Amino acid sequence: MLFSALPKAQGLYDPDNESDSCGVAMITDILGRRSHSIVVDGLTALEHLEHRGAAGAEPNSGDGAGILLQLPVELFAGVVDFDLPAPTADGMNTYAAGICFLPQDEDSRADARARIESIAAEENLEILGWRALPIDPDGAGVGATALSCMPYFAQLFVAAPERCGGIDLDRRVYPLRKRAEATDDSEDEALGVYFPTLSSRTIAYKGMLTTMQLPQFFPDLRDDRCLSAIAIVHSRFSTNTFPSWPLAHPFRFVAHNGEINTVRGNRNRMHAREAKLSSELIPGDLSRLSPICPRDGSDSASFDQVLELLHLGGRSLPHAVLMMIPEAWENNTTMGPARRAFWQYHASLMEPWDGPACVTFTDGTVVGAVLDRNGLRPGRWWRTIDNRIILASESGVLDVPSAEVVAKGRLEPGKMFLVDTAAHRVIP
C-alpha cells in the first residue's frame, strides 16, 4: 500500500482481513448556496467526531480525517498562475482538478509527473498546470509515524480540448486517473501515484491526520474563498488496521461508517466481470482500467471504486448506490410490484455489498446517505430554519438551537435520505 506503514501478508496477518469503524457527517445547503460557512460547519462537525477517530501510541498520528467538497473554483481562480477555462453556458466547470499524492523523492516525483502527463496526452487531455499544494505539517503538529510515510502534495488541473464539463469531463479524466494509479506488484512503490479525487465537480482533502489537524494541515480549508454548498466529513477509526494516507475518507464519492463484510465476494465478482465490461459513455477500451477494485484497498475503497464505475457508466449516483445497497425485499410481502421489480432486476446485475454500514455520498449536486438492510449503524438528520441539512452518525456534531430545527429524523434500514441542491428539495 502506497504512503502507508501497512505490511505485506505474513504469518497469521493478512491485510485483506482489515476493517474500520468511524464517525461521519454531512452538511448541506438545500438551496445550493455556496459559502465558506458550510466548510466551517463541516470542519466543526469533524472536530466533534474526534472521539470516533483514533491514534496509535503517538496521539498526533491519526488514523485518518478528511472532507469532501464541491470544487472551490473561486479559490482556484485566485491562487493558480495559469489560465483556467470558463464554465459552460449552464455553469458546469470545464476543467477537472484534484490533489495528487506523489513520492517525496525528487527524481521519483519527476518520473511520476512525466508519466501522468504522458498518459494525459494519450487520453487526448490537456494539462493546464500543476500547483504545489500548500501544507503545514509543523503547524498541524503531525506525528512522526504519519510524517514517515507522508506523500508530496501537488494539485493537477486538466481539461478536454472540446471544453466539455461536468460528468462528461469526469468520464474523460477517469481513465487518466486509473492508469496513473495502476501499479505492478514488481514495480517499485516509490513510483506510485494516488489521487484522492480528480473531478470537475468535487474535491477531497484528506490524510493520515486527526480531526483537529486537518484544517491546520491544509491552509486551503481556512481560506474564505473556499466555498461549497456540500461538505462530507469523516473521522477514521481503523479497528484492527494500519492507517495510511490514501485510505483516509472521504473517497471520490463516499464516506462510510461501518464495514462491508461481504467485500471479498464482492471483489471476486467484480474481477470476474471485468472481461465483459463495456460502455458507450466512458471512452476507449475498458480493459485499460483494470483492476476496477485493487485488492490492496480497504472495503470502503473498493465500494467507492465500483460505485464510481456504475455512476460514470450512465446511472445517477443514487441509482448506483441502491444497486449496491438494496433494502431487504425478497420476503417483504407488502412491497408493490414496481418496487419489487426494481430490486429483482438489479439483483441479477449486482450482488449486495452488506455491512453493517452507513454510507454518505455526493456527486457535487445531490448528497445523501443510506443505511444498509442490517440497520446496525446510526444516522440522524436535522433540517434547520435556514435550509441546512445536518446528518451525522450521532447527535451534537453542531450546536443548533432547538428553535431553529424545523424537522428531524433518522436513517432506516435499506432506506435512502437524499438532498438535491439543484432542485432545492429534500427526498426523505
Closest CA to 127 of 166, 165, 157: 157
Q: What is the pLDDT of residue 17?
A: 53
> What is the second-level CATH architecture of the domain 15-427?
4-Layer Sandwich (3.60)
Residue-wise pLDDT for 304-324, tens only, equals: 999 999 999 999 999 999 999
Q: What is the pLDDT of residue 113?
A: 96
Question: Can 149 be counted among the known catalytic residues?
Answer: no
Question: Could you give the 3-state DSSP secondary structure of residue 66?
Answer: strand
Distances from the Cα of 10 to the Cαs of 16, 20, 145, 184, 397, in angstroms? 12, 20, 21, 20, 40
Q: Tell me the one-letter amino acid at 253.
A: F
Q: Is the predicted pLDDT of residue 335 greater than 60, yes or no? A: yes
Instruction: Calculate what percentage of the chain has a pLDDT beyond 70.
Output: 91
| Least confident range of 120-134, 148-162, 217-231, 366-380 | 366-380
Residue-wise pLDDT for 218-277, tens only, equals: 999 999 999 999 999 999 876 555 778 999 999 999 999 989 999 999 999 999 999 999
Q: What is the pLDDT of residue 11?
A: 65
Q: What is the pLDDT of residue 237?
A: 74
Q: In this structure, are residues 214 and 322 in contact, taking their beta carbons and an 8 Å threshold?
A: no
Q: Is the predicted pLDDT of residue 22 greater than 70, yes or no? A: yes
Q: In this structure, are residues 176 and 198 in contact, taking their beta carbons and an 8 Å threshold?
A: yes
Q: Tell me the one-letter amino acid at 340.
A: R
Question: Could you give the 3-state DSSP secondary structure of residue 255?
Answer: strand
User: What average pLDDT does this structure show over 101-125?
Assistant: 96
Residue spans per domain, the chain: 15-427
Q: What is the pLDDT of residue 385?
A: 98
Q: Is the predicted pLDDT of residue 416 greater than 90, yes or no? A: yes
Residue from 22, 100, 293, 358 carrying the catalytic annotation: 22
Residue-wise pLDDT for 383-404, tens only, equals: 999 999 999 998 999 999 999 9
Q: Is the predicted pLDDT of residue 186 greater than 50, yes or no? A: no
Q: Is the predicted pLDDT of residue 185 greater than 50, yes or no? A: no
Instruction: Calculate what percentage of the chain has a pLDDT beyond 90.
Output: 81
Phi, psi of 228 (to 5 degrees): -160, 155
- CA-CA distance, 394 to 381, in Å (whole number)? 9
Question: How many angstroms separate the first and last alpha carbons of the chain?
Answer: 38
Q: What is the pLDDT of residue 419?
A: 98
| Least confident range of 56-60, 207-211, 226-230 | 56-60
pLDDT band at residue 84 using 50, 70 and 90 as cut-offs:
very high
- CA-CA distance, 144 to 127, in Å (whole number)? 34
Q: What is the pLDDT of residue 238?
A: 66
- CA-CA distance, 251 to 43, in Å (whole number)? 17
